[in-house]
């Protein structure tokens, strides 16, 4: 049975399971739609949180970034795992004690202001849409490669599936679907890693295999081999880092505090009955997340080593089928600059050259878009472009694993992307229906009307997400890192100060969120879109040496400073609000999550 048939079978079975769960657990009230009725067990909520958290960026892109960045890619591991610890210890129990449906709900009530709520709604939508863009790109990648359909068609299929169980089931449907998706994605990530670890090192535990000697009897350590391959090609050693310590610190911090401010993860802790259950589910989620996160570095080492061994320095005519399959999708491209027919790989951009030259086919140029330049000269000797997002997907093919393992990875990647996309769509729909319509525009709306508004909002959100999937703004993990920066710049200071500082008032919180999010947006626009180059300094160099992915930490500090300065020059919050803050610090006596 070929790979495509296996893919149809496994993806079809998993999609049928997701849809069946959605029908079984469909929401009949706003409480079930927003917080799954508040009765989810800690283990189930931990699995759902892990699936919600481990998006296409974790499954597809993180190992790919580590494969190409080497030691520097560790910032994603440190930031995302450390951020979850921060969320579990500092925020989850207290927000569950507060007992509201959403992050804008907390900010609106804690800061006793409709303006604060509206700013929080804007920030939640901005973070969620930026994040969901990465998920839909992941969906398009998987469908285009394994089901042999156009990327646009694949995105539309993914939209329909997510729409079905997100709109029908709400948080209740999403929660139990995500439990199934966690099982699928972790199995799909683990099985090929075990096979390849045995194949390369003889050790069945990938985390240990990465540091073991090769199975060929040479006594060479796998990491030493990869370091040698990298330096021979002109790259830095894989285990050496080239980023400045400032940028490493900034990216790690931005990812950590961004994690703690992500609305679709925070809302998961409102689905359990008690504060104690919120702590337990956070512990379960951290344990379940660690299985994949400790394995990702090993997968990246396996994939990079096998890719160099099987492709570089060999004739293009003798290249394996998997390379040509991805080349047809525009995710790998080769430019024979010296005309020798041999694939050369070295530092530099393979696409500095005239598009009219027969370096790669028209389909590749269209898919790459602005990545291919129109410069007349070629200043780099590199002939190979590899999209880092394919490394996990292509890993089993590079290692010549059975067709069912390759198909399993496709099903796991779809589970990762769709689980997070569904959680983000729920945040978007609840922000519009609950925080905007119910709390601001029409407070007298009926529960049935609010539920209809939530479902219509989800439909609109899916359409926008589909647009981003069809017109992706970049690599999955890079886009997701920007979403974390936006969350760090906007939500984290407002939530932390709202919980631990009674003197914090609405004026300070609003000013901090607005200045923080604007600072991050301007920096993103300048260095990602090329805007403001004539107005702002630093056209060719990052401010303070910090990349856009790490600038959320700077914007967060600005938010903190502005919030504290403004709050000390304005009136303190009412006494009843200060009493609420005092109460939520005591982790007992919490009632059910409520929107009222």
Residue 408, in any domain of the structure = yes
Residue 465, in any domain of the structure = yes
Structure confidence at residue 169 (pLDDT): 58
Residue 236, in any domain of the structure = yes
Residue 537 pLDDT > 70? no
Structure confidence at residue 539 (pLDDT): 61
Structure confidence at residue 142 (pLDDT): 77
Structure confidence at residue 351 (pLDDT): 59
Cβ distance 430 to 474 under 8 Å? no
Number of other residues whose CB lies within 10 A of the CB of residue 28: 11
- In degrees, to the nearest 5, what angle opens at C-alpha 291 toward C-alphas 184 and 56? 55
Residue 12 pLDDT > 80? yes
Structure confidence at residue 74 (pLDDT): 84
Across the range 132-143, mean pLDDT stands at 74
Is the model more confident about 542 or about 148?
542
Structure confidence at residue 56 (pLDDT): 74
- In degrees, to the nearest 5, what angle opens at C-alpha 302 toward C-alphas 300 and 303? 65
> CATH number of the domain that 532 lies in?
1.20.1730.10
- Which of 4, 323, 360 lies closest to 149, judged by CA? 4
Across the range 244-260, mean pLDDT stands at 86
H or E element: which one contains 556? helix 552-568
Structure confidence at residue 518 (pLDDT): 93
Tell me the whole-structure pTM to 2 decimals: 0.80
Lowest mean pLDDT among 71-85, 161-175, 351-365, 543-557: 351-365
Q: Which of the four pLDDT bands, split at 50, 70 and 90, describes residue 44?
A: confident
Residue 500, in any domain of the structure = yes
Residue 377 pLDDT > 50? no
Structure confidence at residue 33 (pLDDT): 59
Q: Which residues is 213 bridged to in the sheet?
A: 221
Q: Which of the four pLDDT bands, split at 50, 70 and 90, describes residue 357?
A: very low
Q: Which of the four pLDDT bands, split at 50, 70 and 90, describes residue 381?
A: confident
Residue 391, in any domain of the structure = no
Number of other residues whose CB lies within 10 A of the CB of residue 551: 28
| Rounded Cα gap, residues 128 and 120, in angstroms | 12
Residue 105, in any domain of the structure = yes
The answer for residues whose C-beta is within 8 angstroms of residue 449's C-beta and 6 or more apart is none
Percentage of the chain exceeding pLDDT 90: 19
- Which of 253, 245, 249 lies closest to 82, judged by CA? 253
Structure confidence at residue 38 (pLDDT): 54
Is the model more confident about 186 or about 481?
186
Across the range 331-340, mean pLDDT stands at 79
The tokens for 324 are 């040509």
| Rounded Cα gap, residues 268 and 172, in angstroms | 11
Cβ distance 247 to 550 under 8 Å? yes
Q: Which of the four pLDDT bands, split at 50, 70 and 90, describes residue 373?
A: very low
CA-atom Rg of the chain in angstroms: 24
Give the CA distances from residue 212 to residues 191, 200, 208, 393, in Å, rounded to whole numbers and listed in that order. Answer: 19, 9, 6, 24
Q: What is the pLDDT of residues 466-516, one digit of tens each?
A: 887 777 655 555 667 777 888 889 989 999 999 999 999 999 999 999 999
Q: Which of the four pLDDT bands, split at 50, 70 and 90, describes residue 32?
A: low
| Rounded Cα gap, residues 425 and 576, in angstroms | 34
Reduced to 3 states (helix: H, G, I; strand: E, B; else coil), residue 35 is helix
Cβ distance 155 to 143 under 8 Å? yes
Q: What is the pLDDT of residues 299-318, one digit of tens each?
A: 999 999 999 988 888 888 88
Percentage of the chain exceeding pLDDT 70: 85
Across the range 434-461, mean pLDDT stands at 81
| Rounded Cα gap, residues 185 and 397, in angstroms | 18
Number of other residues whose CB lies within 10 A of the CB of residue 283: 13
| Rounded Cα gap, residues 463 and 127, in angstroms | 17
Number of other residues whose CB lies within 10 A of the CB of residue 142: 28
Residue 368 pLDDT > 60? no
Q: Which of the four pLDDT bands, split at 50, 70 and 90, describes residue 538?
A: low
Residue 383, in any domain of the structure = no
Q: What is the pLDDT of residues 390-411, one digit of tens each?
A: 888 888 988 889 989 988 998 8
Residue 553 pLDDT > 90? yes
Reduced to 3 states (helix: H, G, I; strand: E, B; else coil), residue 384 is strand
Beta strand pairing call for 384-386 and 332-334? antiparallel
Cβ distance 140 to 538 under 8 Å? no
Domain span at residue 134 reads 3-306+396-585
Is the model more confident about 430 or about 75?
75
Q: Strand locations in 529-593, DSSP E?
A: none
Structure confidence at residue 355 (pLDDT): 37
| Secondary structure in 3-state letters for 434-470 | HHHHHHHHCCCCCHHHHHHHHHHHHHHHHHHHHHHHH
For 462-487, give one letter per residue: b (16+ CB within 10 A) or e.
bebbbebbbebebbbbbbbbbbbbbb
Residue with tokens 């990216």: 251
| Rounded Cα gap, residues 57 and 64, in angstroms | 9
Q: What is the pLDDT of residues 195-240, one digit of tens each?
A: 999 999 999 999 999 999 998 888 899 999 999 998 988 888 888 8
Residue 28, in any domain of the structure = yes
- Which of 176, 95, 152 lies closest to 422, judged by CA? 176
Question: How many structural domains compose the chain?
Answer: 1
For residue 26, the number of C-alpha atoms closer than 13 Å in the C-beta half-sphere is: 11
Residue 274 pLDDT > 90? no
338: DSSP letter: S
| Rounded Cα gap, residues 423 and 418, in angstroms | 9
Structure confidence at residue 22 (pLDDT): 73
Structure confidence at residue 571 (pLDDT): 93
| Rounded Cα gap, residues 447 and 233, in angstroms | 63
Across the range 433-454, mean pLDDT stands at 81
The sign of the dihedral angle between the CA atoms of 440, 444, 449, 450 is positive
| Rounded Cα gap, residues 523 and 561, in angstroms | 18
């Amino acid at each position: 049975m070929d790979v495509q048939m296996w893919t149809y079978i496994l993806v079809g079975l998993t999609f049928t399971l997701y849809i069946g769960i959605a029908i079984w657990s469909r929401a009949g009230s706003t409480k079930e739609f927003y917080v799954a009725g508040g009765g989810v067990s800690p283990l189930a909520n931990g699995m759902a949180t892990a699936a919600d958290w481990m998006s296409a960026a974790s499954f597809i892109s993180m190992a790919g970034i580590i494969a190409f960045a080497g030691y520097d890619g560790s910032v994603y591991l440190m930031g995302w795992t450390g951020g979850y610890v921060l969320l579990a210890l500092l925020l989850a129990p207290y927000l569950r004690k507060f007992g509201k449906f959403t992050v804008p709900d907390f900010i609106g009530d804690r800061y006793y202001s409709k303006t604060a709520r509206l700013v929080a709604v804007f920030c939640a939508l901005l973070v969620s849409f930026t994040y969901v863009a990465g998920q839909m790109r992941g969906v398009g990648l998987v469908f285009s490669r394994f089901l042999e359909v156009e990327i646009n068609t694949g995105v539309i299929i993914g939209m329909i599936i997510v729409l079905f169980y997100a709109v029908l089931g709400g948080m209740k449907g999403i929660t139990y679907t995500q439990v199934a998706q966690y099982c699928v994605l972790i199995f799909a990530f683990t099985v090929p890693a075990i096979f390849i670890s045995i194949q390369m090192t003889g050790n069945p535990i990938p985390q240990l295999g990465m540091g073991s000697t090769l199975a060929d009897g040479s006594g060479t350590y796998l990491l030493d081999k990869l370091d040698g391959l990298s330096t021979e090609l002109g790259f830095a050693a894989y285990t050496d880092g080239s980023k400045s310590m400032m940028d490493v610190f900034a990216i790690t911090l931005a990812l950590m505090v961004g994690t703690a401010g992500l609305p679709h993860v925070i809302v998961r802790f409102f689905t359990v009955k008690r504060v104690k259950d919120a702590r337990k589910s956070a512990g379960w989620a951290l344990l379940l997340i660690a299985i994949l996160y400790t394995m990702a570095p090993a997968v990246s080492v396996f994939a990079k080593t096998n890719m160099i061994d099987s492709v570089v320095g060999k004739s293009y005519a003798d290249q394996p089928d998997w390379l040509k399959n991805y080349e047809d999708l525009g995710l790998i491209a080769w430019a024979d600059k010296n005309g020798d027919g041999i694939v050369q790989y070295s530092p530099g951009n393979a696409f500095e050259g005239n598009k009219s030259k027969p370096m790669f086919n028209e389909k590749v140029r269209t898919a790459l878009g602005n990545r291919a330049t129109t410069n007349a000269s070629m200043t780099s000797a590199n002939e190979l472009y590899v999209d880092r997002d394919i490394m996990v997907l292509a890993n089993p093919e590079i290692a010549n694993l059975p067709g069912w393992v390759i198909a399993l990875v496709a099903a796991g990647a779809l589970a990762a992307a769709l689980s997070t996309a569904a959680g983000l769509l729920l945040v978007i729909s609840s922000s519009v229906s609950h925080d905007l319509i119910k709390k601001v525009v029409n407070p007298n709306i009926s529960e049935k009307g609010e539920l209809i508004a939530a479902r219509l909002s989800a439909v609109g959100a899916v359409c926008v997400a589909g647009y981003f999937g069809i017109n992706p703004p970049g690599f999955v993990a890079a886009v997701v890192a920007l979403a974390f920066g936006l969350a760090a710049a906007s939500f984290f200071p407002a939530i932390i100060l709202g919980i631990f500082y009674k003197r914090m008032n609405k004026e300070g919180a609003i000013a901090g969120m607005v200045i923080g999010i604007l600072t991050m947006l301007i920096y993103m626009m300048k260095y990602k879109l090329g805007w403001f180059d004539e107005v702002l300094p630093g056209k060719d160099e990052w401010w303070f040496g910090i990349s856009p992915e790490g600038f959320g930490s700077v914007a967060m500090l600005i938010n903190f400073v502005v919030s504290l300065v403004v709050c000390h020059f304005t009136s303190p919050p009412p006494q009843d609000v200060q009493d609420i803050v005092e109460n939520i610090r005591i982790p007992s006596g919490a009632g059910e999550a409520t929107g009222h």
